Structures are given as C-alpha cells and as structure tokens.
Amino acid sequence: MVIEFGLLIVGAYLIGSIPAAYLAAKLAGGIDIRHRGDANVGATNLLRLTSVWVALPVIFFDIAKGLIIVLVAWLVGLGIVQQVTVGIVAIIGHNWPVFLRFHGGRGALTTLGVAFILPLVNNSWPWGILVFLLIAGVGIFIIHNLPLGLGAGIAALPLVSLGVGEPLSLTLGFLAMFLLLVIRRLAAPRTSVTASVSRGQLMVNRLLFDRDIRDREAWIHHASREASLTQRKKS
C-alpha cells in the first residue's frame, strides 16, 4: 500500500496541477488568463473572459480532479487518512501548479469534489456539501458575492462534519482544506494598491472578498492592468 499511496500522491499533485482554465482560455481565444480580468487562473475569471460554454467543461474538470483521485485511493484500498491526504494534495496542485510556475487558482471547485466524495466512500452522507452549496448559493444569488459565499461554505465543512459526528480525520481534513483557501488568499502577490490599504483591512478584504480592495470592478481593472505591466517587464 505504501507504493500505491506514494504514486497517488504524485499523481494527485500532477492532476491537480493541470491548468484547465488557462488551457481553455488559450484554446478559446488565445487569452492568457493570468494577465486578464482579475488574473486568477480559475473558472470564475474564465467565465468573465469567455463564455459559459467554455467555462462549464473547466468547472466539471476541476471538480473531477479532486473527486476521481480520492475515489481511486478508496478503490485501491487506502484508508480514510490516506484518502484525505491525496485529496488535499490535489487541491495543493490546483492552487500551486508546477505547470504554471506555481501560479494557480483558489481550489474551491477541487475542494468541492474532494469534500463530496470523501463522506460517500466512508459510509456517510455529504452533509457538509449540502451546507456548502446552500451558503455558496446565498453568496452568488442573494448577496452577489461569490468569494464570500465560497469562503463561508468551505469554512462550514469542518463545522458540519464535527456536528454530524463524522470521523475526526475527515473533520481535520476539511479544516485543512479551509486553511489552504485562507493561505492561498492571504499569500496572493502584493500589488501597487496594497500600500493604500491598511494591513488589517487588506487581510479582511482578501479573506472575505479575495481581493485587496472592496470595489470589485475597480479591483478587476487594477489587477488586469498590473498583470499586463508585469508581463511586459518580463518580455
């Protein structure tokens, strides 16, 4: 089992690293998604820059990255701790992909895939996912704030898991997934606008809204301009 686990760890990272949003943007219109929109290599930015028909396959693929690798771990007989570990590695691969010099997305969709399949293959119901989808839906359709909805939904996963009495290893795994999201948001590269925002407000903005300033449209304009300038300097 040690060999299988090691191979799945490597495979989980490499599969997680496949930058579907980047590739789809390139194929759809020759767009480098890292230098357009909010410069995030994810389905949301892809949808903004292209169309729902381009983004939908990427959404399914990013969910499948986490779901399938955990399912494979279960099928080869690995225990819940190993399954959780493999799922987390897939999320890390998505967030810090080797194929894009470790500049990836936020991992919400891959987390969704991992969090959905883990309870099912371990004789439980995915209650956390139901709460996740409910909170994310409120964020999208009622308060019109996707990053806040996704962040709150992922934060709810370990709480729901603990509340319904799922195995501790599963609850700790969900907590680790939430911490990965926090780290990814807080560790985003600093921009020229950062200097105009206090450290405390910057942390709040990044944690809740996944951007340095609260104004969404102003941030998208700024991030796109900043990414373009960075690209020109490298050329």
pLDDT tens track, the chain, 235 positions: 788 999 999 999 999 999 999 999 999 988 899 888 888 898 888 988 899 999 999 999 999 999 999 999 999 999 999 999 999 999 999 999 999 999 999 999 999 999 999 999 999 988 999 999 999 999 888 888 889 999 999 999 999 999 999 999 999 999 999 999 999 999 887 777 777 788 889 899 999 998 888 888 877 777 766 666 555 555 5
Task: Give the pTM.
Answer: 0.93
Neighbours of 43 (CB within 10 A): 25
Q: What is the pLDDT of residue 232?
A: 59
Residue identified by tokens 């399912």 is 71
Neighbours of 28 (CB within 10 A): 16
Neighbours of 163 (CB within 10 A): 13
Q: What is the pLDDT of residue 142?
A: 87
Q: How many CA atoms lie within 13 A of 81 on its CB side?
A: 3
Neighbours of 85 (CB within 10 A): 21
Q: Which residues contact 108 (CB under 8 A, 6 or more apart)?
A: 42, 150, 154, 181
Contact 45, 38 (CB under 8 A): yes
